[in-house]
Structure 1
Amino acid sequence: MIDDCSVPSLVAKVHREDALSISAGAAELLLVANKPGLTETGGGHGAKGVDFQRWWAVLRMVEMERANEPDFLLLFETVQDVTELNSVNTPTRARVYQVKKKDRGEWTWSVLTGTTAPPKKKSSTTASKAVTPTFTKVSDSALGKLQLSLAAFNKLPVEAYFISNAGCDIPLAAGGNAATSMPCSLADFAPEHSQLLAQALHSLSADGSPVPDLTKLKLKRVAIHPDEPSSYVIKSALELLTQRSPPHAGQAASFVESLVTKISPLGRHTDTCSSFGDLVKQRGFARHEFISALGALETIPDHSAYLNDWLTQLQSEGMDFMVVTAMRAEAARVVREQLTGATLPVVQSLHDFCDVWLDANARGLGLRPYFEAGLAALRQDFSSFRDAELLARFAMRAIKKCVDPN
């Protein structure tokens, strides 16, 4: 199964982990993840494509949470772009995903399959001129790579998905086109296309292998625009938060942006992993981490209403519009920082200074003089920060004392 020189030690390691109750599904996933040649490890997408994958991954987490999935684990740059398991510890099924953006047009048959599309209609003339299809490029095609991933598993039930913002220009057996009828499986293609595809994918298998099950390979289109991937994902998260935590629905944007920040480093290192635990640590993001992010959101009061009122008052008292706008942007960044738990020591010192100053200085009738006095004090010890950030952090600490004095 594995043609890597480190297989004996790797298998021995997996056997040791079996003794420590690693599930059969996790053990097989580890073996497949370490198999050379399956995962694209660089140069395939560029930064914009990877960004698209990360936004889609957050969308997928939100979808699973809204569907009340009891557990899930996403592994990045594992087997394909993303592998999804239904359990962190004892997976019993998997889904492997290729997640590809397309800036214009639809995906064509030749790009997806590495073969030439069959003629639309057969006649005695076209039949006599029919050319025997060649399958030399199938292994490098999108669907060919997904089939190779499926074939690498012997025990764990697996499905494969091609995910994109663009449709696929392929006729369906029931009429219509896959470009407008996604999601669909490859078995839904028009007969001449599904038969040719079955032959093409079968050419990747060893002699005597069964014909590929086209129902296990699926196409799905997502409404994520590659130039503005956040909008649709934030909308989906807003629906989840409106259902689960209405007081924090206004923080949907900060919530999804914090998740993208958390998962962005995952999968950057694709070295061979010696254990399933190492694989999860290096490339995984699990449901309990998603729930933890939701929990962190619940601990942060929705400051937006207070902040809007204060910014409106500051502007009415004569504070420059550009300063107010910059404060608003910096405050949004502070909320994302709180959700990710990534506060730097110097920033924590700044927050502590704000808390002490706020306790020692009572607010008068005007809000602007209070902020200007706080800014003057902050500048003395934190001159490396821009005024807009100092004011925003000062405002957020003041709001925290108003909303959550403990």
Structure 2
Amino acid sequence: MTISAGAAELLLVANKPGLTETGGGHGAKGVDFQRWWAVLRMVELEQANELDFLLLFETVQDVTELDSADTPSRARVYQVKKKDRGEWSWSVLTGTTAPPKKSSSASSNAATPTFAKVGDSALGKLHLSLAAFDQLPVEAYFISNAGCDIPLAAGGNAATSMPCSFADFALQHSQLLSQALSSLGANGSPAPDLTKLKLKRVPIHPDEPSSYVIKLALELLTERSPAHAGQASSFVESLATKISPLGRHTDTCSSFEDLIKQRGFARQEFMSAMGALETIPDYSAYLNIWLTQLQTEGMEFMLVTALRAQAARVVREKLTGATLPDVQAIHDFCDIWLDANARGPHLRPYFEAGLDALKKDFSSFRDSELLARFAMRAIKKCVDLN
């Protein structure tokens, strides 16, 4: 198969109606979970030293991963779902009734399973996506923070043994699933390859999805850019901000290039974001020293806390390149004021004088934001002098 054929088939499948969920079924919390998982996946791919990758959002399923942005030769299709409590049940995942336990006296009288709801189930949709490809090698994954209550052939349960493939299910379950998925195809269609359909659990909590992602990013930056490891939080938050708008528009794309432009995020962009860290000093060390001194000199604790939060926002803003014109005006004002006013032995009077000057022209901004921007410009000035 040629390189262009892989991209062409992906585009064809991406434009097929009925595969991608385009509604607002997940809610904001579910979309947030998907976004943070996508950042996690990019960090994982980079840790694995993948030469290239491309994530396409709301394409085929929630996310499609290609091994190259230019020459795709394989793909992974992901359905990414958060669950607030409990585990995923067989009936919810497959749209069928679980097979009876062998010990059940009623097993011989069990009703013939019906497959009317399989096509609308999570695993049914994944199988349909997989079956839509004829040439490009594809795997499909169901990703969640919760386990799946399904027995495995080797013993144990998928809830505690993920990742696993559907072929790992206990015999009765894998046979029933194979029949259920076969019902979605035309007569004579090949039997589903359950080894290409997989479950994976990820340690992302729906109420605090960034924590685990920051942990992995810290490991990556400690290895690749140790001087900027302290910016792991700002780094992943900037990535989450960048991918947030991708996939909001799911119009039919006329070319593979249009598909990438509308819904894609490639390794090159990931590396550009990482490279941007090299141009930004690790402000955290300087900031922590200054905030400790400000609090020692009597600045209110709540104001110091708010200043710290706003400073983190300024760093994220720098990484995403999202500084607005009115905010840039504050930065320009700070630079001029800092050049004209020497700092004395105490920080608090210096910060208060800077804030008083800023409030004359930027009274619509909160004190904590003005102080944070003042602090970050002051730190930049100190670093540049060094």
TM-score scaled to structure 1, two decimals?
0.92
1:170 equivalent in structure 2: 150
Matching of residues 271-286 of structure 1 within 5 Å: 271-286=251-266
In the alignment, the residues of structure 1 paired with residue 305 and residue 166 of structure 2 have an alpha-carbon distance, to the nearest angstrom, of: 50
2:311 equivalent in structure 1: 331
Q: Which moved more, 1:385-394 or 1:57-66?
A: 385-394
Residue of 213, 221, 242 corresponding to 1:233: 213
Contact 2:3 2:71 in 1 (8 A): yes
Listed as ranges, the gaps of 5+ residues in structure 2 are none
Cα displacement (A) at 1:122 = 6.7
Instruction: Report the aligned-residue RMSD.
Output: 1.4
Which whole-Å deviations, capped at 9, do the CAs of 1:265-320 have from their partners, x for residues lacking one?
11111111111111111111110000011011121111111111111111222222
Contact 2:152 2:169 in 1 (8 A): yes
Contact 2:3 2:73 in 1 (8 A): no
1:70 equivalent in structure 2: 51
For the pair 1:81 / 2:54, whether they are aligned, the reply is: no
Stretches (4+) displaced over 4 A = 122-125
State the one-letter code of the partner of 1:59. L
1:404 equivalent in structure 2: 384
1:51 equivalent in structure 2: 32
For the pair 1:105 / 2:86, whether they are aligned, the reply is: yes
Residue of 175, 189, 192 corresponding to 2:169: 189
In the alignment, the residues of structure 2 paired with residue 241 and residue 377 of structure 1 have an alpha-carbon distance, to the nearest angstrom, of: 38
For the pair 1:248 / 2:228, whether they are aligned, the reply is: yes
Cα displacement (A) at 1:58 = 0.3
Cα displacement (A) at 1:78 = 0.5
What SS does structure 2 have at the residue aligned with 1:39?
Answer: coil
In the alignment, the residues of structure 2 paired with residue 218 and residue 267 of structure 1 have an alpha-carbon distance, to the nearest angstrom, of: 24
Residue of 314, 327, 337 corresponding to 1:347: 327
2:181 equivalent in structure 1: 201
In the alignment, the residues of structure 2 paired with residue 124 and residue 193 of structure 1 have an alpha-carbon distance, to the nearest angstrom, of: 18
Which whole-Å deviations, capped at 9, do the CAs of 1:92-118 have from their partners, x for residues lacking one?
000000000011111111111111111
What SS does structure 1 have at the residue aligned with 2:160?
Answer: coil
In the alignment, the residues of structure 2 paired with residue 74 and residue 230 of structure 1 have an alpha-carbon distance, to the nearest angstrom, of: 19
State the one-letter code of the partner of 1:26. A
Q: Which moved more, 1:117-126 or 1:256-265?
A: 117-126
Cα displacement (A) at 1:205 = 0.9
State the one-letter code of the partner of 2:224. R
Residue of 145, 153, 156 corresponding to 2:133: 153
Residue of 24, 36, 50 corresponding to 2:17: 36
Contact 2:141 2:199 in 1 (8 A): yes
Q: 1:381 to 1:123 in 2, by over 3 A?
A: closer
In the alignment, the residues of structure 1 paired with residue 346 and residue 125 of structure 2 have an alpha-carbon distance, to the nearest angstrom, of: 65
What SS does structure 2 have at the residue aligned with 1:215?
Answer: helix
Q: 1:358 to 1:163 in 2, by over 3 A?
A: same
Which whole-Å deviations, capped at 9, do the CAs of 1:112-140 have from their partners, x for residues lacking one?
1111111111788632x232211111100
In the alignment, the residues of structure 2 paired with residue 73 and residue 404 of structure 1 have an alpha-carbon distance, to the nearest angstrom, of: 36
Contact 2:101 2:107 in 1 (8 A): no
Cα displacement (A) at 1:364 = 1.7
1:131 equivalent in structure 2: 111
What SS does structure 2 have at the residue aligned with 1:212?
Answer: coil
In the alignment, the residues of structure 2 paired with residue 158 and residue 342 of structure 1 have an alpha-carbon distance, to the nearest angstrom, of: 36
In the alignment, the residues of structure 1 paired with residue 298 and residue 333 of structure 2 have an alpha-carbon distance, to the nearest angstrom, of: 26
In the alignment, the residues of structure 1 paired with residue 84 and residue 355 of structure 2 have an alpha-carbon distance, to the nearest angstrom, of: 45
What SS does structure 1 have at the residue aligned with 2:349?
Answer: helix
What SS does structure 1 have at the residue aligned with 2:159?
Answer: coil
What SS does structure 1 have at the residue aligned with 2:363?
Answer: coil
What SS does structure 1 have at the residue aligned with 2:88?
Answer: coil
Cα displacement (A) at 1:250 = 1.1
State the one-letter code of the partner of 1:72. F
Aligned length: 385
Listed as ranges, the gaps of 5+ residues in structure 1 are 1-20
What SS does structure 2 have at the residue aligned with 1:179?
Answer: helix
For the pair 1:377 / 2:357, whether they are aligned, the reply is: yes
Percent of residue pairs identical: 85
Cα displacement (A) at 1:365 = 2.1
What SS does structure 2 have at the residue aligned with 1:315?
Answer: helix
What SS does structure 1 have at the residue aligned with 2:249?
Answer: coil
In the alignment, the residues of structure 2 paired with residue 393 and residue 266 of structure 1 have an alpha-carbon distance, to the nearest angstrom, of: 29
Matching of residues 258-269 of structure 1 within 5 Å: 258-269=238-249
Cα displacement (A) at 1:402 = 0.8
In the alignment, the residues of structure 2 paired with residue 281 and residue 139 of structure 1 have an alpha-carbon distance, to the nearest angstrom, of: 30
